[in-house]
Structure 1
Amino acid sequence: MQDDTRAPAAQPWLRAIDVHHHILPDFYRDELQALGIPTVLPGIDKPTWNAGASLSMMDRHGIRAAVTSVWPGVPTSLEAKPAAEFARRVNEYLAGLISDHPGRFGAFAVLPFPHMDAVLDEFAYAVDVLGLDGVGLVSNYGGLYVGDPSMDPLFAEAERRHRPLFVHPTVPPAGGLPLPDVPAPWYEFPFETVRVAAQLLCNRTLETFPELSVILPHGGGGLPSLAGRLAAGALISPALAARLPEDPMGSLRRLYLDIAMTGDPHALAALRSFSPASRLLVGSDFPLMPEAATLGTGHRVLAHGKFDAEERLLLDHRNAEGLFPRLSGKDV
């Protein structure tokens, strides 16, 4: 199929790869409830999911493939053995979903944090045996943030195997949130993503692992607006300046960002100013975001994002094909 910058009026995308696509298998929700976790999003209506619903939504939006993730993954309260068993069950389900729908689904593996030996074992199995496409992480595991140096063994293996990391925000570990009576994702998630970016920057993670690909959802949360502040560490502290890479802004701009929830003019302006088109990806956030909102975001991003024809193709599928060659429809 040849590239074309036109799309039917009802759908924003042409042949997109959606990198931010949640699935909620019944067994996963049942397991969480058995552990005393009643919902994946406290204070928010519980979404429902099945493969047919995803496929129908994808067809309506012009999405030919979705890289799925099971969020928030394995509860950190589990000991190493049950955590590893939980992760294995989820990852084998993901592999089955891919097998049942060839070319339509990819998957980010879940891993049994904080047990690093089990994490590395499950990563190898998920990638080498099950053939999953990357790793789905949350911003912090009980206060252990993704940019922490203790994560380096996983980063090294992900870089060696060319498997991207998708880092979805979660609730911060600190108690005493300022609005305890409203859902924390509403206001905390954008800052969680900034915390991840700051730690990756301060620990020079992307310089240590130059071939590692990291995807941040929701347009990078608050990162596009705060990247300049993070890059100006030398103005805040000489000691901080010594920890930052030579080109802090260049390092941050290597991160991949998906466009979920970026359809308002303020978020979109910051995103387009900060991130090159070669680092932008389609993300629906389905079904945690209503389909109408996802559809509207796609249309607004394309209508007001000032993408030229080549940039539209990069966003629609070419960038994602570079990260997920199995979903490119080409022999690699």
Structure 2
Amino acid sequence: MSATSGLIDIHHHAIPPAYAAALRGRVAIPGVDYPSWSPEESLAVMDRHGIEAAVLSITAPGVTFLEGPDARRMAREVNEYFAGLIRAHPTRFGGFAVLPLPDVAAAEEELAYALDVLELDGVGLLTSYGNRYLGDPAFESLLAGITERGVAVHVHPMTPPARDLETFDLPPSLYEFTFETTRTVMSLLFNGVLDRLPRLRLITSHAGGTLPFLAQRLTYGPTIGAHLKDRAPADLIGSLGRLHYDIAMSATEFALPALTRLAGTDHILFGSDFPFMPAAHTTENTEGFRAHAGWSEEERAAIGRTNALRLLPALAQRLAAA
């Protein structure tokens, strides 16, 4: 298998029928044209671009537009839908479980069901729930449980929670999503979560948002404010280097050199962002991945496939058994 075939798409969204029906009439992501989707559409795009398997996830707003039992039921229905797709196409699809946060107790219950019963490949989280980012103490027990299980967590940006945030009448996914990823990682860093959970297998979207560009600047926290001395991570750059980064919407000459310098090629993963980015962008992103001159073919193969399979052993096992 060549370095540019057999790709594993770690950032690939699904819109299950029940989920689409529940969203109908609601604004999912402000200013974003909500796409249509079917498994057949995903498979066709995958086949055209040398993508062997795609790990499905739910994008913003997850199940946060529902409350209480309705949110729990929708998370369960989505996760069971993912499991059914994996049974039908075991070598083509994986799934990141959606959890009914911010209800941590319900999320922990659904986590156990999704991993132990449905045997999904990992967990999908959003950057924030309500006004709380992932570094909030309310979420640490959940993250600790995920870490103990050793499963991968794909983190997708959410529409910023601040209602008074000026977005210039532009879709938040155009640029705010990158800042949301940065905000949630900052909360994890400066609340000490990444130091306490160094084995947390966190995948950030879109090349880590602005993290590669800001990495050195972020180390200046205690210099700017002495009150941050006790909160600063033990090794901020090292912590960022332990994270994993998908290259959805980011396989460009601008993003890839900085990301590679920060993360190394063993922590970068291929992603398409289909169908919220159309098939034409999958072509663009795949071509950018294949053409980047800063990687050897061995490194390109790792980014396109083997890094993901190392993080997702259940998917790796299904592919090996085929």
TM-score normalized by structure 2? 0.94
Aligned counterpart, 2:20: 29
Amino acid in the other structure paired with 1:56: A
Confirm or deny: 8 A CA contact 1:74 1:86 kept in the other structure: no
1:77 Cα offset (Å)? 5.0
Aligned counterpart, 1:9: none
Aligned counterpart, 1:310: 298
1:73 Cα offset (Å)? 5.3
Task: Please tell me the root mean square deviation across aligned C-alpha atoms, in Å.
Answer: 1.6
Amino acid in the other structure paired with 1:275: A
Identity %: 45
Q: How many residues align?
A: 319
Confirm or deny: 8 A CA contact 2:221 2:232 kept in the other structure: yes
Amino acid in the other structure paired with 1:130: L
1:90 Cα offset (Å)? 1.0
1:278 Cα offset (Å)? 0.5
Aligned counterpart, 2:112: 124
- Looking at structure 2, the residues matched to 231 and 95 of structure 1 have their Cα atoms a distance apart, in angstroms, of 42
Confirm or deny: 8 A CA contact 1:269 1:305 kept in the other structure: no
Aligned counterpart, 1:46: 34
Cα separation, partners in 2 of 1:289 and 1:136, compared to 1, 3 Å: same
- Looking at structure 2, the residues matched to 281 and 198 of structure 1 have their Cα atoms a distance apart, in angstroms, of 21
User: What CA deviation, in whole Å up to 9, does each residue of 1:28-65 have, x standing for no partner?
Assistant: 111122xx524x33222221110011111111111111
- Looking at structure 2, the residues matched to 113 and 246 of structure 1 have their Cα atoms a distance apart, in angstroms, of 29
User: What CA deviation, in whole Å up to 9, does each residue of 1:191-237 have, x standing for no partner?
Assistant: 00110111111122222122210001111111111111112222112
Aligned counterpart, 1:235: 223
- Looking at structure 2, the residues matched to 306 and 74 of structure 1 have their Cα atoms a distance apart, in angstroms, of 35
- Looking at structure 2, the residues matched to 210 and 48 of structure 1 have their Cα atoms a distance apart, in angstroms, of 38
Confirm or deny: 8 A CA contact 2:61 2:158 kept in the other structure: no
Amino acid in the other structure paired with 2:15: L
Amino acid in the other structure paired with 1:4: S
Question: SS state of the match for residue 243, structure 1?
Answer: coil
Confirm or deny: 8 A CA contact 1:137 1:165 kept in the other structure: yes
Aligned counterpart, 1:14: 5
Amino acid in the other structure paired with 2:97: A
Aligned counterpart, 2:121: 133
Determine which of 157, 160, 167 is the counterpart of 1:169: 157
User: What CA deviation, in whole Å up to 9, does each residue of 1:263-284 have, x standing for no partner?
Assistant: 3322223222222100000100
TM-score normalized by structure 1? 0.91
Aligned counterpart, 1:212: 200
Aligned counterpart, 1:92: 80
- Looking at structure 2, the residues matched to 189 and 307 of structure 1 have their Cα atoms a distance apart, in angstroms, of 27
Confirm or deny: 8 A CA contact 2:72 2:106 kept in the other structure: yes
- 2:183 equivalent to 1:192: no
**Larger displacement relative to structure 2 (263-272 or 118-127):** 263-272
Amino acid in the other structure paired with 1:37: R
Aligned counterpart, 2:285: 297
Question: SS state of the match for residue 4, structure 1?
Answer: coil
Aligned counterpart, 1:279: 267
1:176 Cα offset (Å)? 2.5
Question: SS state of the match for residue 52, structure 1?
Answer: helix
Over 6 Å off, 4+ runs: none
Confirm or deny: 8 A CA contact 1:74 1:83 kept in the other structure: no
Aligned counterpart, 1:62: 50
User: What CA deviation, in whole Å up to 9, does each residue of 1:293-315 have, x standing for no partner?
Assistant: 12212212332341012211210
- Looking at structure 1, the residues matched to 149 and 14 of structure 2 have their Cα atoms a distance apart, in angstroms, of 24
Aligned counterpart, 1:4: 2
- Looking at structure 1, the residues matched to 299 and 253 of structure 2 have their Cα atoms a distance apart, in angstroms, of 19
Amino acid in the other structure paired with 2:242: R
Aligned counterpart, 2:309: 321
- 2:178 equivalent to 1:181: no
Question: SS state of the match for residue 330, structure 1?
Answer: helix
1:70 Cα offset (Å)? 1.5
- Looking at structure 1, the residues matched to 103 and 37 of structure 2 have their Cα atoms a distance apart, in angstroms, of 29
1:74 Cα offset (Å)? 4.2
Amino acid in the other structure paired with 1:149: P
Confirm or deny: 8 A CA contact 1:17 1:66 kept in the other structure: yes
Confirm or deny: 8 A CA contact 2:31 2:170 kept in the other structure: yes
Aligned counterpart, 1:10: none
Confirm or deny: 8 A CA contact 1:206 1:251 kept in the other structure: yes
Aligned counterpart, 1:115: 103
Aligned counterpart, 2:133: 145
